[in-house]
Amino acid sequence: MFDYIKGLLTAKNFPYCTIECNNIGYLLLVNYRTIQTLPELNSEVKIYLKLIHKEDSMTLCGFNNKQDRIIFDILTSVSGIGTKVAFALLDEFETNELINAVIEQDYKSISRTKGIGPKMAQKIVLEIKDKLTKMDMTAELISSKSKYDDISNETITQAITVLQSLGYEKNEYQSAIETALSALKKDDAQELIKETLKILSIF
């Protein structure tokens, strides 16, 4: 129903912020990491939205970027994971770190999040790992691997997996990941993902 809102930031009192657009103030529920990155009051901001509709309430959740919103949707698809716990995970991890933890089945790291024990961490991995890894993996970038001799196929493949899991199409991420590869100083999948997402967030 809503994709994003662009307007003036008129209030930020964790866990809420208010965005004024066309003389209407929209109250958004946000996580701590998001509110920490918001600019000064009366600055123009763009926040991505997710409407949570329950029988007795409607809540607009706000996110800095599309990636966080997608991961939020995936997390809340797990039974027992609501808005509060999903936001706690997004506070504990950057998007690419959380995805990597799930793909690598790092239950221990996930369970350090407040409100999530070892059993819930295992449940999260079991229920959403396939959603992150069952992608149409191609070799479009690996085929040009000779240009990046210091970067392993595994690193590039993992980066593509993450980008596809976030909903990016080949025509969206290919140029960005190639730019990130050219600047990458070590064979590190998380660093490649992080730099690619930075480039994508500019556009």
Q: Helices 95-103 and 118-133 sit at what angle, rounded to 10 degrees?
A: 100
Residue 168: per-residue pLDDT: 85
Token pair 């690419």 is found at 96
Count, residues in the chain: 203
CA quadruple 195, 200, 201, 202: dihedral positive or negative?
positive
- Compute the mean pLDDT over every residue in the chain, rounded to the nearest whole number: 85
Residue 14: per-residue pLDDT: 94
Residue 143: per-residue pLDDT: 44
Contact (CB, 8 A) for 77 and 32? no
What distance in Å separates the CA atoms of residue 83 and residue 88, rounded to the nearest whole number?
A: 9
Residues of the chain falling short of pLDDT 50:
135-146
φ, ψ for residue 195, nearest 5 deg = -70, -35
Q: 134 Cβ partners below 8 Å, 6+ apart?
A: none
Asked whether the whole model's pTM tops 0.75, one would answer no
Pairing of strands 4-13, 58-63: unpaired
What domains, with CATH codes, occur in the chain?
4-63 (2.40.50.140), 67-131 (1.10.150.20), 142-202 (no CATH)
- For residue 144, which of 160, 166, 164, 162 has the smallest C-alpha distance? 160
The 10s digit of each residue's pLDDT in 38-81 is 999 999 999 999 999 888 889 999 999 888 898 899 899 998 89
The CA R_g of the chain, rounded to the nearest whole Å, is 18
CB atoms within 10 A of CB 91: 14
